[in-house]
A and B are shown apart, each in its own frame.
Chain A
Amino acid sequence: MMDMKVANLGAASMSMPAIGEPVTRNEEANHELSIRVRDLNLWYGQTQALQNINIDVYQKNVTALIGPSGCGKSTFLRCLNRMNDLIRGVRIEGLVEMDGRDVNEVRMDEVALRRRVGMVFQKPNPFPKSIYENIAYAPRMHDLVSRKADQDELVERALQDAGLWNEVKDKLHQPGTSLSGGQQQRLCIARAIAVQPDVILMDEPTSALDPISTATIEDLMDKLKKQFTIITVTHNMQQAARVADYTAFFHLGELIEYNDTKTMFSNPHTKKAEDYITGRYG
């Protein structure tokens, strides 16, 4: 039934998009390719969690991943910076290409990949160090700064960018864990942007936060996309509609629809996405 609708709509629109491209283009968005995914399959032991995912993610945009719980959004996100390596029994097939390189190839250094593809987690996870150290630690290890003054400046800039500077500038040497949940999450974002990655993955970054902190982080994403490519997972439709340029809908391990956010929420291309967005689906 769904296929019929796809076919109908497909026939109605002028031309079918190429594989992995969004159904409708968002003309305001940037279209330089950041990550290209082709025929990505993933198994946890015997169970397949991702099936034939094809998607082109564009630079300096916010791309939102939505879909019911357990459909594979987090799994997909972890494929992009190889965090799945940490899980036993994971098998991956297919292509995830960034900067002309397959990230899964043997010669790819996953540490280098993660340097360019940062991640912010669902629960804030600041290190048990001071606020300052939480941010300065990684850049120092990556030799991005050498002098103390540079380091101070970098910490300040990251905190400014994350919209946290005013709140913490007087207590930089208190432990990161002493902050509120929303502040901790912004600290984690500051920590991620301090190493100057190309892409930032966010897995439900606001799901543990109150509405005000959520709004702050949404604003932040909007600001940060000028510098970074952001891929975020969210269960909150309004959030996706507010912040994302493109939205991808996952269902049972498949990418059902990848579309311009406005079109996705006003005139979805597939029945399943429509059901999900209008709340007819769990």
Chain B
Amino acid sequence: MSQSFDEISAQLKRRHRKSARLKWLSMGALGLAGLFLVIFFADMLGKGLPAFQQAQIRVEVTYSEQSQQLPLAAVNEDVRELVSRGWLRTLPMMMRDNPQLLGTSRQEWVLADGQVDQYLKGHYTRLDDDEKEIVDALAEQGRAELQFNTTFFSRGDSKMPELAGIMSAAMGTVMTLLVTLAVSFPIGVMTAVYLEEFAPDNRLTQIIEININNLAAIPSILFGLLGLAIFINFFGVPRSSPLVGGLTLALMTLPVIIIATRTALRSVPDNIRHAAFGVGCSRWQVVRDHVLPLALPGIMTGSIIGLAQAMGETAPLIIVGMVAFIPDISASVTDAATVLPAQIFTWAGEPDRAFVEKTAGGILVLLTILIAMNATAVVLRKKFERRW
């Protein structure tokens, strides 16, 4: 005799509760991941946004003989500790370049010291009470305020937080990525074309395939060891240079580009190849004139994603010495340089608390670029996505 619905339902209560619990638990897990992302971005924005502003104070600057010798003399004694030392040091040079300034004096907005900056932003500061009072008074008169921080975007690294910027690191990143792209893109695409369109299905091809997949999973720091032992010690590529960094990253990016290109090539339907063979094209002509153009959006998408990954990579670059202190913007791929993530790493290690906001500011810039790159890749994919 079978049970009635109600009897069964009664027995099922506990099991339904368990099932619901799994649902809520799994939903909670996803929520947790989302929550973390929110906390993370809130934290980074909170810490990093102030970096885009910089304290400036309006003071009387005297361009005299004396201040040419001793830049400190250019400003009044009471604010001497409040203006940026780094800025003062540029005064003699400025006067040499503009001799007509000599003997004049005028009110000017000048870069404030990092401690003033921190004080105005309400952070911990090493200013003493007297200095704080002066800053308060200046702020009251509208002579001390936070302005958009151009230094951060136009200068290289500095030991003085108010003068530290990401420009040299950004240039280093650009050069490194250019090297990476120049090496990994052609080799990656050629490898993929070979494997998809030309390679016989033999032992060697299989080994290459397994090897590529495996390469994608090797810890990045080991690529750094390779860069150090082979590129620097063996081939004598200059240490800390975008060249060695770019080459190292190129090897890491290679599998990403190969895999993306192969997927793109595979998604070009065979009947296009057959049609081209049918009109007498050779294998290479088919690939060059028919398959590659159709696969190009997919290849670009993959390359952008690969480059974005390379751009965030730090560990192998540390090993090949790209954590150097680079105050000037270098111009050659063989000069010592640093990259954005390495700059972030360096700043994160600075004991001065003012560098925390620089670090977070650098992170915001890096994340913005990465998100933009990935968004471009997504848009490219959406736009050219084809259903055959």
> Interface 1/0s, chain A 106-146, versus B by CB < 8 A?
00110111011000000000000000000000000111000
CA distance A141 to B12 in the complex (A): 10
Interface residues on B, range: 10 to 19
CB distance from A196 to the nearest CB of B (A): 6
Q: Are A113 and B11 in contact (CB under 8 A)?
A: no
Any A CB within 8 A of the CB of B141 = no
Complex interface: chain B residues within 8 A of A101 (CB) = 5
Q: Are B16 and A111 in contact (CB under 8 A)?
A: yes
Closest 8 CB pairs of A and B: A112-B8, A109-B9, A112-B9, A112-B5, A198-B2, A115-B8, A111-B12, A101-B5
Closest residue of A by beta carbon distance from B19: A111
Complex interface: chain B residues within 8 A of A197 (CB) = 2
CB distance from A140 to the nearest CB of B (A): 12
Q: For chain B, what secondary structure do more than half of its interface residues adopt (helix, strand, loop), or is it mixed?
A: helix
Q: Are B9 and A116 in contact (CB under 8 A)?
A: no
**A-B contacts, CB under 8 A, total:** 28
Question: Given A112-B9, A116-B8, A197-B2, 9 other A-B contacts at CB below 8 A?
Answer: A99-B4, A101-B5, A112-B5, A112-B8, A113-B5, A116-B3, A116-B5, A142-B11, A198-B2
Q: Are A109 and B12 in contact (CB under 8 A)?
A: yes
Complex interface: chain A residues within 8 A of B3 (CB) = 116
CA distance A89 to B5 in the complex (A): 27
A-B contact pairs, 16 of them (CB 8 A): A99-B4, A99-B5, A101-B5, A109-B9, A109-B12, A109-B16, A111-B12, A111-B15, A111-B16, A112-B5, A112-B9, A113-B5, A116-B2, A143-B11, A196-B2, A197-B2
Q: Which A residues lie at the B interface, using CB under 8 A?
A: 99, 101, 108-109, 111-113, 115-116, 141-143, 196-198
Q: Are A108 and B5 in contact (CB under 8 A)?
A: yes
CA distance A196 to B16 in the complex (A): 21
Complex interface: chain B residues within 8 A of A196 (CB) = 2
Residues 177-207 of B contacting A (Cβ, < 8 Å): none
CA distance A110 to B8 in the complex (A): 11
Complex interface: chain A residues within 8 A of B12 (CB) = 109, 111-112
CB distance from B333 to the nearest CB of A (A): 55
Residues 5-55 of B contacting A (Cβ, < 8 Å): 5, 8-9, 11-12, 15-16
CB distance from B18 to the nearest CB of A (A): 11
CA distance A196 to B8 in the complex (A): 13
CA distance A101 to B4 in the complex (A): 10
Complex interface: chain B residues within 8 A of A113 (CB) = 5
CB distance from B12 to the nearest CB of A (A): 6
CA distance A101 to B12 in the complex (A): 18
Complex interface: chain A residues within 8 A of B4 (CB) = 99
CB distance from B156 to the nearest CB of A (A): 57
CB distance from A59 to the nearest CB of B (A): 11
CA distance A112 to B4 in the complex (A): 9
CA distance A111 to B16 in the complex (A): 9
**When the two chains form the complex, which single residue of A109, A141, A142 contacts B5, counting CB atoms closer than 8 Å?**
A109
Complex interface: chain B residues within 8 A of A115 (CB) = 8
CA distance A77 to B9 in the complex (A): 22
Quick one: which of A101, A108, A115, A141 has the most chain B CB within 10 A? A115
CB distance from A80 to the nearest CB of B (A): 14
Closest residue of B by beta carbon distance from A143: B11
CB distance from A60 to the nearest CB of B (A): 12
CA distance A159 to B178 in the complex (A): 68
Complex interface: chain A residues within 8 A of B5 (CB) = 99, 101, 108-109, 112-113, 116
Complex interface: chain B residues within 8 A of A99 (CB) = 4-5
CB distance from B384 to the nearest CB of A (A): 29
CA distance A160 to B3 in the complex (A): 23
CA distance A168 to B347 in the complex (A): 69
Quick one: which of A99, A109, A112 has the most chain B CB within 10 A? A112
CA distance A116 to B4 in the complex (A): 9
Complex interface: chain A residues within 8 A of B16 (CB) = 109, 111
CA distance A109 to B5 in the complex (A): 8
Closest residue of B by beta carbon distance from A196: B2
CB distance from A115 to the nearest CB of B (A): 5
Complex interface: chain B residues within 8 A of A142 (CB) = 11
Q: Are B8 and A109 in contact (CB under 8 A)?
A: yes
CA distance A108 to B12 in the complex (A): 12
CB distance from A96 to the nearest CB of B (A): 13
CB distance from A154 to the nearest CB of B (A): 15
CB distance from B19 to the nearest CB of A (A): 9
